[in-house]
Amino acid sequence: MKKNPEFRLSAIIACLISMFSVGIVYLWSVFQQPVVDYYGWSVSSVTMVSSAIIFVYVVGSLIGGVLNDRKGPRFSIVLGSILFCGGLLLSSFLTPAMPVWSIYLTYGVVAGLGVGLVYSAALNVIQKWYPHRRGFATGISVCAFGLSATVLAPLITMLINRFEVPGAFRILAFTFPVAAFLCSFFVVTPSQKYLDSLNLARGGKPQRDYTPREAVRHLEFWSLALSLLFLPAAYMMIIPRVKTLAIARGMSEGLATLTVSLTGVASAVSRLLAASASDKVGRARTIWTLSVVTLIASVCITFASGWFYVVVVLLIVAGYSGPAGIFPAMASDSFGVKYSGTNYGMAFMFLGISSPLFTMISNLVSASGAETGNYTASFVIAAVGCIVPLVMLPLYDVAKKKRLAREAAEQV
């Protein structure tokens, strides 16, 4: 297809840089021990910071979706950048005399909300420029977001070692959020002429856009929401313990650390490949396959060790990260792009619930795991959780086909 003269590559690049910039909020694992050492808080008191960040960032995505639909993506990215900068900057002024909840407020709530606003807006813009390749669009978006943790972890570790925790927070506050802010001035959405030209080139018709109130009345929405709630269970329960569990099973410190490092690579690669594959073989089918992989890997992790353990962990990461680039495309496929920020934001809230929910369940059923290395109960629950998307995703396809057939009949 000949390149459309209205296509704006600068808008895509700006959104990808913004995604990469806010992805550092996922690096709490890098900050956790230095924060404990510097402020004197206990490890147990900060273990839920990661879950809090994910939950708040998901809430921010919903808020960002609403703002994006009403005020445009540039407003969301600017506001998100300011909040992200403010959260990191406030974190840099914390002192050992302050209560532990202060880090939850500054890093988790303020910065997390900023991340959600930027994430939602950037993802929505890229999807709108690639309505004919939504899997690819969401794939490159979440790949940039996930790749940030892998690329920047060594840099942040170096900053912490050289400038201590407050200095690292301060430097980060005036770099990556500022980059996202500057990128906002290049963010534009495609014109209706551009979208119509793509429809004509593909011989298609304009897609109906469903309002949020209409979307929640369809089984497709709840199939997405419940899959987002249960599929991440394995990742939430297993990944935080990857290194300690590896060492408990007799693996060397080097191999355990390598496993952690490879999770970032697996996350980025699976986000891009799975989303691109979904454009060809179908979105629900791709996530269904990844759900099967996650189920099998969740069973194998109960006894895996050595290099087999490394492979199993990476499969669990792929099973969590791959769908991240597909679910947003599924929401747009079903309900259109006009209100996609809000529609997907509502379903995405279930992922936010998933993080603290399954973290708490795992802490409850495997309370002695830190001493014994036995997390079998958590792994079994993770495997069972995979059954929900295996049931819901075929229902999604059936519901979508019936709805499209009904709409086609109404147009005749």
- In contact, 399 and 223? CB cutoff 8 Å: yes
What is the percent of the chain where pLDDT is above 70?
Answer: 93
As a whole number of angstroms, the distance between CA 235 and CA 382 comes to: 8
- In contact, 248 and 373? CB cutoff 8 Å: yes
Please determine, for residue 177, whether its predicted confidence score (pLDDT) is greater than 70.
yes
What is the percent of the chain where pLDDT is above 90?
Answer: 40
Q: Which two tokens stand for residue 180?
A: 């996202």
Q: At what angle do helices 111-129 and 134-173 cross, to 10 degrees?
A: 150
**Range ranked top by mean pLDDT from 227-241, 245-259, 284-298:** 284-298
User: Both ends of the chain: CA-CA distance in Å?
Assistant: 30
* Alpha carbon of residue 251 to chain centroid: 29
What was the pLDDT predicted at 363?
A: 80
- In contact, 346 and 366? CB cutoff 8 Å: no
Please determine, for residue 84, whether its predicted confidence score (pLDDT) is greater than 90.
yes
As a 3-state breakdown, the chain gives helix, strand, coil percent values, each rounded to 5, of 85, 0, 15
How large is the C-alpha radius of gyration of the chain?
Answer: 21
- In contact, 150 and 267? CB cutoff 8 Å: yes
What was the pLDDT predicted at 5?
A: 55
- Backbone angles phi and psi of 141, in degrees to 5: -65, -55
- List all residues 6 or more positions away from 98 whose beta carbon is below 8 Å from its beta carbon: 39
Please determine, for residue 203, whether its predicted confidence score (pLDDT) is greater than 50.
no
Higher pLDDT, residue 94 or 143: 94
Give the dihedral sign, CA 313/252/304/362: negative
Q: In this predicted structure, which of 253-257, 307-311, 313-317 has the lowest mean pLDDT?
A: 253-257
Task: Please name the residue ranges forming H helices in 174-252.
Answer: 176-183, 192-201, 212-215, 219-230, 233-238, 242-248
**Helix, coil or strand: residue 96:** coil
Region of residue 253 (left: phi > 0; alpha: psi -120 to 50; beta: else): alpha
Please determine, for residue 82, whether its predicted confidence score (pLDDT) is greater than 50.
yes
Please determine, for residue 35, whether its predicted confidence score (pLDDT) is greater than 60.
yes
As a whole number of angstroms, the distance between CA 159 and CA 27 comes to: 13
As a whole number of angstroms, the distance between CA 282 and CA 135 comes to: 9
As a whole number of angstroms, the distance between CA 398 and CA 220 comes to: 9
- Backbone angles phi and psi of 407, in degrees to 5: -65, -35
**Helix, coil or strand: residue 47:** coil
As a whole number of angstroms, the distance between CA 91 and CA 71 comes to: 29
Tens of pLDDT, residue by residue over 391-409, are: 999 999 999 888 888 877 7
Please determine, for residue 344, whether its predicted confidence score (pLDDT) is greater than 90.
no
Higher pLDDT, residue 267 or 15: 15
Tens of pLDDT, residue by residue over 100-130, are: 999 999 999 999 999 999 998 998 888 888 8
- In this prediction, residue 201 has a pLDDT band, given cuts at 50, 70 and 90, of very low
- In this prediction, residue 3 has a pLDDT band, given cuts at 50, 70 and 90, of low
Q: Which two tokens stand for residue 204?
A: 């298609």
- In contact, 194 and 352? CB cutoff 8 Å: no
- In contact, 94 and 166? CB cutoff 8 Å: yes
What was the pLDDT predicted at 20?
A: 92
Tens of pLDDT, residue by residue over 368-396, are: 665 666 788 888 998 999 999 999 999 99
Nearest-5° Cα angle at 48, 257 to 250: 30
As a whole number of angstroms, the distance between CA 63 and CA 346 comes to: 9
Please determine, for residue 204, whether its predicted confidence score (pLDDT) is greater than 60.
no
DSSP 104: I
Average pLDDT on 334-342 reads 82
Does the predicted model carry a pTM greater than 0.85?
A: no
What was the pLDDT predicted at 368?
A: 66
What was the pLDDT predicted at 6?
A: 64
What was the pLDDT predicted at 372?
A: 64
- In this prediction, residue 206 has a pLDDT band, given cuts at 50, 70 and 90, of low
What was the pLDDT predicted at 273?
A: 87
- In this prediction, residue 188 has a pLDDT band, given cuts at 50, 70 and 90, of confident
C-beta neighbour count of 163 within 10 angstroms:
14
